[in-house]
Amino acid sequence: MEAQPLISLKDIAKHYKVGTEVIKALRSITMTINKNEYVAIMGASGSGKSTLMNILGCLDTPTSGAYILNNKEISSLTDNELAEIRNKEIGFVFQSFNLLPRSTTLENVMLPLVYAGIKKEKRLNMAFKVLQDVGLGDRVKHRPNELSGGQKQRVAIARALINNPSIILADEPTGNLDSKISLEIMALLNQIHKAGNTVILVTHEEDIAKFAHRIIKLKDGEIESDTTIKK
């Protein structure tokens, strides 16, 4: 089966002005990520990986270059258009979980559906199903302070999956977890990839990156290496 491009970046650059100095966070990034790929993006602090993640996640726009996601030109969209793409196309999983502390597990997972304008009964059913899929069907009424770190990350993953996005973008998803729980979360991301999702993992840990099928290493705002891992 022929690979279908999901993400295409061409000569992406991102510059920041700090006082009189221009910081070139990304210099010239050209790459393609196909549907159902599992890609890890690595790099030391200052390599540009966080900037690249923000651009891939439509949280920021490039200074120059073209970003095409699912056949849509992203680079020139308005803030409102970017917000819509983020809600429909991208499921985010962050190191710090980013859960609402006073909301239940079910309410946290339903949140993207509220923004998408889906009716309450359907929201409840969809959220309950996805919580069951990540092994938390018995925790729907718990609040974040009643959950372990691993359970919080499962809630975050369920919330990321709820809109059936094109991409799951996981930023250091095991950064706050011990090694045993980290392996459980990575096994869950493997399942999500096998179910047909495209997973992009941003990490500085070699052992976590090895779960991916392709590792892109950045250095000084450029791609240093792009390696496919045979599984």
Q: How many other C-beta atoms lie within 10 A of the C-beta of residue 25? A: 22
104-126: pLDDT as tens digits: 999 999 988 887 888 999 999 99
CA neighbours closer than 13 Å in the CB half-sphere of residue 89: 19
| DSSP one-letter string for 161-206 | HTT--SEEEEESTTTTS-HHHHHHHHHHHHHHHHTT-EEEEE-S-H
- Rg (C-alpha) for the chain, rounded Å, is 18
Residues in a beta bridge with 10: 66
63-87: pLDDT as tens digits: 999 999 999 999 878 889 998 899 8
- According to DSSP, residue 146 is labeled G
198-202 vs 214-219, strand pairing mode: unpaired
> pTM score > 0.85 for this model?
yes
Whole-number percent of the chain with pLDDT over 90: 75
CA-wise closest residue to 26 among 224, 169, 226: 224
pLDDT of 1 reads: 59
- What are the structural domains, with CATH classification, of the chain? 36-59+76-228 (3.40.50.300)
Residue reference for tokens 């993207």: 112
183-193: pLDDT as tens digits: 999 999 999 99
